[in-house]
Amino acid sequence: MMNWNNTDTSIININNKINIRTVTFIIGLFILLLVSSSSNAAQYPVAGTSPWQRPASAPVIEWVKHNRVWYKESLTGINTPYPRSLYFLDNQGNWYTPFTRPGMQSPYDLRRWHHTSQ
């Protein structure tokens, strides 16, 4: 009869040594990469340290002029006279706003953006 205890123990010891070596190597590699990347990061400016300030070299939009087509598309599905709450469109820049884009389809399409005229 074989002595399973000695055989199993030796296999487990070999596997444990391989696992410990592998884990040690991975940890060492991680620390090396961490140290080397931190030395390179010191050369670049850190973004987000003063979010209230716009960078001096950033472009500035001085004015936006919307034509009649833009207003017609933005006010799709809204009857005249337009409510005062939509006058913000006069000051709307070129950034994203959900008020000028079609939303969900029927039955939630209150402004009939997705309606096809027949």
- pLDDT classification of 9: cutoffs 50, 70, 90: very low
% of the chain at pLDDT higher than 70: 72
Domain count, the chain: 2
Q: What pTM value is reported for the model? A: 0.46
In a domain, 53, yes or no: no
67 and 115 assigned to the same domain: yes
Name the phi and psi angles at 67, rounded to 5: -90, 180
In a domain, 106, yes or no: yes
pLDDT digits (tens, 9 = 90+) for 68-104: 999 988 888 888 898 898 888 888 888 888 888 888 8
In a domain, 57, yes or no: no
73 and 37 assigned to the same domain: no
In a domain, 29, yes or no: yes
Structure tokens at 47: 């973004």
Domain enclosing residue 73, as ranges: 63-118
- Of residues 58 and 64, the one with the higher pLDDT is 64
Alpha carbons 17 and 24: distance in angstroms, whole number:
10
Span 7-35, average pLDDT? 70
In a domain, 58, yes or no: no
- Of residues 2 and 55, the one with the higher pLDDT is 55
How high is the pLDDT of residue 10?
A: 47
69 and 39 assigned to the same domain: no
In a domain, 51, yes or no: no
- Of residues 38 and 94, the one with the higher pLDDT is 94
How high is the pLDDT of residue 68?
A: 92
SS (H, E, C) 13-29: HHHHHHHHHHHHHHHHH
Span 40-64, average pLDDT? 72
In a domain, 50, yes or no: no
Residue 35's identity, in one-letter code, is: V
Q: Are 73 and 83 in contact (CB under 8 A)?
A: no
68 and 30 assigned to the same domain: no
Q: Are 114 and 101 in contact (CB under 8 A)?
A: no
Alpha carbons 67 and 27: distance in angstroms, whole number:
60
* Per-residue CA distances from 108 to 46, 91, 102 (Å): 44, 27, 11
